[in-house]
Amino acid sequence: MYIFILIIFIAELIIALSIINFIIKADRKVCDLNDCVTEFNPLAKTCMQYFRCVSDSFCKSVQTGIDFIKKHNERAWVKVISSVAIYSMLVLFRIKRIKAKKLFNLVGAIGDIALDLAV
């Protein structure tokens, strides 16, 4: 009977030692991981600041592009309308190519002068 109790006690000691050994190994791994995170934290912070700076500059450039488009929207519509008018005149009157080219250059020059005076 005492031998049976002794065997069970030894088995429990072996199990307890293996569990303690596993806990010690896990603690070492967690400490190593903690050291890695502690070393990586300033680098991650620097990277996040750089990413924030890049995203801010991208947003500013997009906003500048949108402002430019809004600013030149009216001028673009005037050019589109004048081009449509010129090509519709060419189709309606069916002018020869040489005369059409001269007329197109004349109307384009007048349109550019009018746009420069308007701005």
pLDDT tens for the chain, residues 1 to 119: 778 888 988 999 999 999 999 999 999 999 998 888 888 778 888 888 998 999 999 999 999 988 888 877 777 777 778 777 777 776 666 656 666 677 777 777 777 776 666 55
Q: Angle 73-93/97-118 helices, nearest 10 degrees?
A: 160
* Both tokens assigned to 37: 């995170």
- Same domain, yes or no: 9 and 23: yes
Predicted TM-score (pTM) of this structure: 0.39
Q: Are residues 10 and 24 in the same domain?
A: yes
> What beta strand segments (E) does 16-72 contain?
none
Residue 22 CB contacts under 8 Å (≥ 6 apart), including other chains: none
Please identify which residue in the block is written with the tokens 């005037």: 78
Residues 86 and 61 in one domain: no
* Among 104, 102, 101, 67, CA closest to 82: 104
How many Cα atoms sit within 13 Å of 15 on the Cβ side? 6
Measure the CA–CA gap between 118 and 79, rounded to whole angstroms.
13
- Asked if 89 and 106 count as a contact pair (C-beta separation under 8 A), the reply is no
100 and 66, same structural domain? no
How many independent structural domains does the chain possess? 2
Q: Which domain holds residue 64?
A: 1-71
Domain identity same for 63 and 81: no
